Chain A
C-alpha cells in the first residue's frame, strides 16, 4: 500500500471546495463553514505528525472537520434556553383552526428532491479529486470558474483541440464517477 503524505501547501487549492460543500450542508451558514474549514486546516497542520499515512489526505481532513462540526453543534446547543422551538399553529392569514391545512402535502416532492441535492456538491468535488491533476484543473477552470477557451489555452500553452480532448476525458470520467456515486 502506498504511504500517503501530507502537503499542506496544496490543501486550500485541492480540498477547500470539497470541505466547504461538506460543511455547508451541515451548518448552513457561509461564515461558520469557512471558519470551520480554516480551523480544520490549522488543526491538521498542528497534528501533522500524527498522520500515519494510512488514509488519504482528504479522508484525514474530513475526519478532523467532522470533529469540528460536532464541536460547533455542542457550542450552539449549550445555549439551551435560546434553542427553544416555538410552534405556531395559526397565522393571521388563515381563518379558523383547520389542522388539515397544516398537514404536509404528500404530492409535494420538491422538498425531497432538494434534500437529495444537498450532498451533490460533495459528490462532485469528491469525483473531481479523483481526476488526474491537469484534467481536474482544466475542467474546473472551464466548467466551474467559466474561463474562456482561449485564456486557458494561453495559460497552459496548449492548442484548443488539446483542450477539448482534455475536457472530453474529464467529462467522461466525471460522468462515470457520478454515475456510480450519485445518479
Chain B
C-alpha cells in the first residue's frame, strides 16, 4: 500500500474522519496528503468547519417523540 493518496481518496478519508470512522493509518496518509495538496487542505478546513457548526449546542432539534406527537396532532386535524 502506497503512502500517497489520490485527491478523491483523501476527500473520502476526510469525510469519514468527520464521523470518526477513519482508521489511524488512513489519517496518517490523509495528513501526509494535506502537506502538499492545497485543494484538499481547503476542503478539509471547510469540512471541519461544517462539522463544528453542526455540533454547536445552539443547533437544536426536536426529539423524535415530540415530533411524532406533533405529527399525530396534525394528522388528526387533517382527517377531520
Contacts and interface: CB of A to CB of B under 8 A. Distances in A.
A121 B70 contact: no
A121 B58 contact: yes
Contact of B74 (A34, A41, A174): A41
A31 B4 CA distance: 53
B8 to A, nearest CB: 9
Secondary structure at the A interface, as helix, strand, loop or mixed, is helix
A64 interface: no
A21 interface: yes
Interface string B5-36: 00000011001101101000000000000000
Given A12-B74, A178-B53, A183-B49, A20 B60 contact: yes
What is the interface residue range for chain A against chain B? 35 or more
B73 A38 contact: yes
Contacts of B61: 17, 20, 144
Interface residues of B, number: 29
Interface string B40-52: 0000001101110
A21 B59 contact: yes
Contact of A37 (B19, B49, B70): B70
B54 A144 contact: yes
Contacts of B67: 12-13, 16
A41 B77 CA distance: 10
A174 B51 CA distance: 10
Interface string A115-132: 001101100100000000
Contacts of A73: none
A168 interface: yes
A42 interface: yes
A45 interface: yes
B62 interface: yes
A9 B71 CA distance: 8
9 contacts: A9-B78, A11-B74, A12-B70, A13-B71, A38-B73, A118-B58, A120-B53, A124-B53, A142-B19
Interface of A: 8-9, 11-13, 16-17, 20-21, 24, 34, 37-38, 41-42, 45, 114, 117-118, 120-121, 124, 142-144, 149, 164, 167-168, 171, 174-175, 178-179, 182-183
Closest 7 CB pairs of A and B: A121-B59, A12-B71, A175-B46, A117-B58, A12-B70, A17-B61, A175-B50
